[in-house]
Amino acid sequence: MKRNTATARGTPDPKPIILRLLSNEGGGAAYKLEHQRRQQEKTLTAAVNKNRVWTDAEWEFWLDHRTFMSRAEIAAELGRTYHGLHNEIAKRSRIQKEEKLEGRLNLADVIERSHLSLRTLAARLGIGLTTLHRIASLGQWPAPARLDGYASVEDLRAAIVAVLDEEDLPTANLFDAAQQPRRTKMHNRKLLSYEILARFGLESDPFNLEPNGQAGVFESRGVVNLMKAMKLALTNQNMVALVGDIGSGKSTAINTFIDRCSADPNLVIWRPAAAQVGKLTAYSICSYIVERHSSKRPSTDHARLYRQVAEILIELTRGGASVALVIDEAHRLPAGTLASLKNLFEIRDPQAPLSRMLAIILTGQPALERSLTAVTTLREVAERTLVMPMPSQKEAIPAYLKHRIKMVGGDPESIFTKGALDKIAFYSRTYQEAGNIAAATIEQAARKGEVGKIDQAWVEEVCSSSLTREMATLREMGKTPTAPAGSLKELE
């Protein structure tokens, strides 16, 4: 007879092992008190958060930081319990699944969640398996000559709905043309060959997004106004957060601003390396400042190190200098480091206690603004920070493309029609996406022997084919893309 290991070993003691080991030692009482204190803190936190509704900012903070912070760390930053965060994740995941089942499914979703297969449904409809696969996976409908006996696409849609209704499967909004179309993503850069560049009279690739010097920087009206606001913030020694999505031009804007300010000999810029921003602490920032402006070594004592930084600021400002601390990629800063920036910002000269001595400029993705909103320990920083969103690039995209083409000796009017430039702006949100689409369109038109100007039909073709490939890739990865309405042409 096999021995029952669990019975032989006996019921385990529910007390922690360390508590049992220390119960007869001198430190046992101290451990018990610490254990009781932590339990009381957890109970108090749970009671405070029992009826506290989760905000969108808190949820966005979880989404932004879950890749490099544990759930326990995120819960602590938000002032929540671990179990509270776990329950909220489970609840939101359940709600998302329910919303899909309430009519936001496309045909591929319905088939995947049912007992039907594509082959079975195709046989019942009397159409080819490939035709049904293209309808379900890519949202592409057959041409009238390939409808396999159906009079129109509408009749085929009605037949599909009828079969699904017979099987008691959801059909609400299945082919709703009002659904939000999937936005085309053109992240892959097209490297234009020398033959293509010569064909369009270009000296080099006009869509290299790294400007070479001030002449290569394109400034829209929104960026000009942003520069003026940043200059005013620097003059008034404010704390500023420049926030924008990937490719929105944050790095170019801040580099241009610093380059122009560097002509002022009375301006001192402190800018720690962005590569280390995820590990920056208050101590490392202060040490960086002391190493740059003092012959003394940074003190290992935090209070003395703080006084060293204060002495440096007082010396610089009394000498007529304006000082700014610039931190790139600030959305990756630990919450504790962000909170400590208030202490640096509040340093005052005893002889002028009402005047600030340090301007702080943060740049980062929208997660930075959400962190300032969601994390309760950052409230004092958030109240002192002026958030400046990057201006929208969409309206300035045609002018940006013309600027880039002229920079390499080309004539934009002889390459693109106005309709083509407007269509590129329609399909893109940032300069980066616009450059990618423009380069892909030029490459496609040259490859197919276009001899005239590139019109909007070429842009439509490139974006539609790119969207088709993207959706097919998602299907291969096991993901179900939303059937687009308007981005792909229905093959009627």
Give per-residue pLDDT as tens, 294-330: 888 888 888 899 899 999 999 998 988 889 999 888 8
* Boundary-marking domain end, from 348, 372, 389: 389
In a domain, 465, yes or no: yes
Q: Which residue in 275, 338, 333, 344 sits closest to 309, CA to CA?
A: 344
In a domain, 252, yes or no: yes
pLDDT tens track for 3-14: 444 444 444 444
Residue-wise burial string across 98-124, b where 16 or more C-beta atoms lie within 10 A, e elsewhere: eeeeeebbbbbbbbeeeebebeebbee
The answer to whether residues 285 and 326 belong to one domain is yes
In a domain, 216, yes or no: no
Give the domain CATH number at 411: 1.10.8
Least confident range of 26-30, 348-352, 421-425: 26-30
Count of the separate structural domains present in the chain: 4
> What single DSSP character describes residue 470?
H
The answer to whether residues 327 and 373 belong to one domain is yes
In a domain, 414, yes or no: yes
pLDDT tens track for 364-416: 988 888 888 888 778 888 888 889 998 888 888 999 899 889 888 889 899 99
Average the pLDDT over 80-107 and give the result. Answer: 72
Question: What SS3 state is found at 164?
Answer: helix
Give the domain CATH number at 255: 3.40.50.300
The answer to whether residues 318 and 366 belong to one domain is yes
Strands (E) located in 221-266: 239-243
In the prediction, which pLDDT does 211 show? 63
- State the helix-helix crossing angle for 82-101 and 28-49, rounded to 10 degrees: 30
Does residue 187 register a pLDDT over 60?
no
In a domain, 487, yes or no: no
The answer to whether residues 232 and 298 belong to one domain is yes
Does residue 489 register a pLDDT over 50?
no
The answer to whether residues 345 and 413 belong to one domain is no
The answer to whether residues 447 and 366 belong to one domain is no
pLDDT tens track for 234-271: 888 889 999 988 878 888 888 888 888 888 888 888 88
Specify burial of residue 190 (Cβ count, 10 A radius: 0-12, 13-18, 19+). Answer: buried
The answer to whether residues 234 and 370 belong to one domain is yes
Compute the distance between CA of residue 201 and CA of residue 413 in angstroms, rounded to an integer.
Answer: 12
The answer to whether residues 373 and 417 belong to one domain is no
In a domain, 340, yes or no: yes
The answer to whether residues 242 and 378 belong to one domain is yes
User: How is the beta sheet containing 267-270 ordered, strand by strand?
Assistant: 267-270, 322-327, 359-364, 239-243, 385-389
Compute the distance between CA of residue 346 and CA of residue 336 in angstroms, rounded to an integer.
Answer: 16
| Contact of 365 with 375, CB cutoff 8 Å | no
Domain that holds residue 466: 194-207+394-476
In the prediction, which pLDDT does 221 show? 83
In the prediction, which pLDDT does 465 show? 64
The answer to whether residues 225 and 340 belong to one domain is yes
